[in-house]
Structure 1
Protein backbone atom coordinates (compact mmCIF):
# COMPACT_ATOMS: atom_id res chain seq x y z
CA UNK A 1 0.00 0.00 0.00
CA UNK A 2 1.07 3.54 -0.72
CA UNK A 3 0.17 6.30 1.74
CA UNK A 4 -1.90 9.18 0.38
CA UNK A 5 -2.94 12.39 2.05
CA UNK A 6 -5.37 14.32 -0.08
CA UNK A 7 -8.81 15.75 0.57
CA UNK A 8 -11.66 16.65 -1.78
CA UNK A 9 -14.95 18.45 -1.12
CA UNK A 10 -17.29 17.41 -3.91
CA UNK A 11 -21.02 16.94 -4.48
CA UNK A 12 -22.59 13.54 -4.86
CA UNK A 13 -24.40 13.04 -8.12
CA UNK A 14 -26.70 10.40 -9.49
CA UNK A 15 -27.61 9.77 -13.09
CA UNK A 16 -31.21 9.28 -14.08
CA UNK A 17 -32.70 5.85 -14.59
CA UNK A 18 -33.15 2.61 -12.73
CA UNK A 19 -29.93 1.16 -11.37
CA UNK A 20 -27.99 4.41 -11.80
CA UNK A 21 -24.99 4.86 -9.51
CA UNK A 22 -24.41 7.67 -7.07
CA UNK A 23 -20.87 8.94 -7.56
CA UNK A 24 -18.41 11.61 -6.47
CA UNK A 25 -16.02 12.92 -9.13
CA UNK A 26 -12.52 13.75 -7.87
CA UNK A 27 -10.95 16.65 -9.81
CA UNK A 28 -7.25 16.31 -10.58
CA UNK A 29 -7.18 12.71 -9.38
CA UNK A 30 -5.31 11.43 -12.45
CA UNK A 31 -2.36 13.71 -11.69
CA UNK A 32 -2.53 12.96 -7.95
CA UNK A 33 -2.56 9.19 -8.47
CA UNK A 34 -0.23 9.19 -11.47
CA UNK A 35 -2.61 7.18 -13.63
CA UNK A 36 -5.82 7.31 -15.62
CA UNK A 37 -6.54 3.66 -14.82
CA UNK A 38 -8.76 2.21 -12.06
CA UNK A 39 -7.15 2.54 -8.62
CA UNK A 40 -8.07 0.79 -5.36
CA UNK A 41 -8.05 3.20 -2.43
CA UNK A 42 -9.06 3.56 1.20
CA UNK A 43 -10.11 6.70 2.94
CA UNK A 44 -12.76 8.57 4.85
CA UNK A 45 -15.99 10.09 3.63
CA UNK A 46 -17.31 12.61 6.14
CA UNK A 47 -15.33 10.71 8.79
CA UNK A 48 -16.54 7.22 7.83
CA UNK A 49 -14.02 4.63 6.56
CA UNK A 50 -14.53 3.24 3.05
CA UNK A 51 -12.68 1.15 0.47
CA UNK A 52 -13.38 1.66 -3.21
CA UNK A 53 -12.03 1.34 -6.71
CA UNK A 54 -11.74 4.77 -8.31
CA UNK A 55 -12.89 4.52 -11.91
CA UNK A 56 -11.42 6.78 -14.62
CA UNK A 57 -13.77 9.21 -16.36
CA UNK A 58 -11.50 9.69 -19.41
CA UNK A 59 -10.73 13.34 -18.70
CA UNK A 60 -8.08 13.00 -15.99
CA UNK A 61 -10.61 12.58 -13.21
CA UNK A 62 -11.83 9.50 -11.37
CA UNK A 63 -15.22 8.76 -9.88
CA UNK A 64 -15.94 7.08 -6.57
CA UNK A 65 -19.07 4.90 -6.64
CA UNK A 66 -20.85 5.61 -3.34
CA UNK A 67 -22.87 2.67 -2.08
CA UNK A 68 -26.22 3.09 -0.35
CA UNK A 69 -24.84 1.93 3.02
CA UNK A 70 -22.16 4.64 2.97
CA UNK A 71 -24.68 7.29 1.85
CA UNK A 72 -26.86 6.29 4.80
CA UNK A 73 -23.89 6.56 7.22
CA UNK A 74 -23.01 10.06 6.05
CA UNK A 75 -26.71 10.96 5.65
CA UNK A 76 -26.17 12.49 2.21
CA UNK A 77 -27.56 12.02 -1.27
CA UNK A 78 -27.67 13.54 -4.75
CA UNK A 79 -26.41 17.13 -4.71
CA UNK A 80 -25.03 17.05 -1.15
CA UNK A 81 -21.36 17.91 -0.67
CA UNK A 82 -19.11 15.33 1.01
CA UNK A 83 -15.54 15.55 2.26
CA UNK A 84 -13.39 12.69 0.97
CA UNK A 85 -9.91 12.07 2.37
CA UNK A 86 -7.86 9.48 0.52
CA UNK A 87 -5.22 7.97 2.79
CA UNK A 88 -4.09 4.73 1.11
CA UNK A 89 -3.63 3.42 -2.43
CA UNK A 90 -3.61 -0.39 -2.71
Structure 2
Protein backbone atom coordinates (compact mmCIF):
# COMPACT_ATOMS: atom_id res chain seq x y z
CA UNK A 1 0.00 0.00 0.00
CA UNK A 2 1.08 3.56 -0.70
CA UNK A 3 0.06 6.50 1.47
CA UNK A 4 0.49 10.03 0.09
CA UNK A 5 -0.56 13.58 0.84
CA UNK A 6 -2.28 15.34 -2.03
CA UNK A 7 -2.22 18.79 -3.51
CA UNK A 8 -5.54 19.92 -5.03
CA UNK A 9 -6.69 17.29 -7.53
CA UNK A 10 -10.27 16.80 -8.75
CA UNK A 11 -11.91 13.44 -9.43
CA UNK A 12 -15.32 11.85 -8.91
CA UNK A 13 -17.11 15.07 -7.97
CA UNK A 14 -14.78 15.43 -5.00
CA UNK A 15 -12.20 18.17 -4.75
CA UNK A 16 -9.10 16.90 -3.04
CA UNK A 17 -7.78 19.69 -0.86
CA UNK A 18 -4.23 20.30 0.32
CA UNK A 19 -3.49 17.93 3.17
CA UNK A 20 -6.01 15.26 2.13
CA UNK A 21 -4.56 11.77 2.08
CA UNK A 22 -5.12 8.89 -0.30
CA UNK A 23 -4.44 5.20 0.02
CA UNK A 24 -3.38 3.47 -3.19
CA UNK A 25 -3.29 -0.33 -3.52
CA UNK A 26 -0.05 -0.97 -5.41
CA UNK A 27 -1.16 -4.52 -6.30
CA UNK A 28 -4.27 -3.34 -8.21
CA UNK A 29 -2.74 -2.30 -11.53
CA UNK A 30 -5.19 -3.86 -13.99
CA UNK A 31 -7.61 -1.26 -15.39
CA UNK A 32 -11.14 -2.42 -14.50
CA UNK A 33 -14.43 -0.60 -14.89
CA UNK A 34 -14.85 2.92 -13.61
CA UNK A 35 -12.20 2.88 -10.88
CA UNK A 36 -9.72 5.66 -10.05
CA UNK A 37 -6.00 5.03 -10.54
CA UNK A 38 -2.70 6.72 -9.79
CA UNK A 39 -0.86 6.75 -13.12
CA UNK A 40 2.45 8.13 -14.32
CA UNK A 41 3.77 9.04 -17.75
CA UNK A 42 7.32 10.36 -17.61
CA UNK A 43 7.42 13.24 -15.11
CA UNK A 44 3.60 13.61 -15.08
CA UNK A 45 1.53 11.89 -12.38
CA UNK A 46 -2.28 11.89 -12.31
CA UNK A 47 -5.13 10.55 -10.16
CA UNK A 48 -7.78 9.80 -12.79
CA UNK A 49 -10.22 7.32 -14.19
CA UNK A 50 -8.54 5.46 -17.04
CA UNK A 51 -10.37 4.49 -20.22
CA UNK A 52 -8.61 2.27 -22.76
CA UNK A 53 -9.47 3.38 -26.30
CA UNK A 54 -8.70 1.83 -29.68
CA UNK A 55 -6.43 4.79 -30.47
CA UNK A 56 -4.81 5.20 -27.04
CA UNK A 57 -5.83 6.03 -23.48
CA UNK A 58 -8.13 8.66 -21.98
CA UNK A 59 -7.51 10.00 -18.46
CA UNK A 60 -10.76 11.36 -17.02
CA UNK A 61 -11.66 13.66 -14.11
CA UNK A 62 -15.27 13.84 -12.99
CA UNK A 63 -14.90 17.62 -12.87
CA UNK A 64 -14.46 17.89 -16.65
CA UNK A 65 -15.25 21.60 -16.82
CA UNK A 66 -12.17 22.46 -14.77
CA UNK A 67 -10.05 19.44 -15.74
CA UNK A 68 -10.84 18.23 -19.28
CA UNK A 69 -9.90 14.66 -20.26
CA UNK A 70 -6.31 13.98 -21.25
CA UNK A 71 -6.00 11.82 -24.35
CA UNK A 72 -2.77 9.91 -24.90
CA UNK A 73 -1.99 8.40 -28.30
CA UNK A 74 -0.96 4.75 -28.52
CA UNK A 75 2.67 5.86 -28.71
CA UNK A 76 2.32 8.14 -25.65
CA UNK A 77 0.38 5.48 -23.75
CA UNK A 78 3.19 2.93 -24.18
CA UNK A 79 5.05 4.71 -21.38
CA UNK A 80 1.97 5.01 -19.13
CA UNK A 81 2.52 3.23 -15.82
CA UNK A 82 -0.37 2.29 -13.54
CA UNK A 83 1.01 2.73 -10.03
CA UNK A 84 -2.14 1.44 -8.34
CA UNK A 85 -5.84 1.88 -7.63
CA UNK A 86 -7.20 4.51 -5.24
CA UNK A 87 -8.95 2.60 -2.46
CA UNK A 88 -9.41 5.26 0.24
CA UNK A 89 -9.50 9.03 0.57
CA UNK A 90 -8.95 10.71 3.93
CA UNK A 91 -10.07 14.30 4.43
CA UNK A 92 -8.64 16.64 7.01
CA UNK A 93 -11.60 17.86 9.09
CA UNK A 94 -9.76 20.65 10.91
TM-score normalised over the length of structure 1: 0.38
- Name the structure where helix makes up a greater proportion of residues: 1
**Which structure: larger Rg?**
2
Flag the structure with more relative contact order, 1 or 2, with Cα contacts below 8 A and sequence separation at least 6. 1
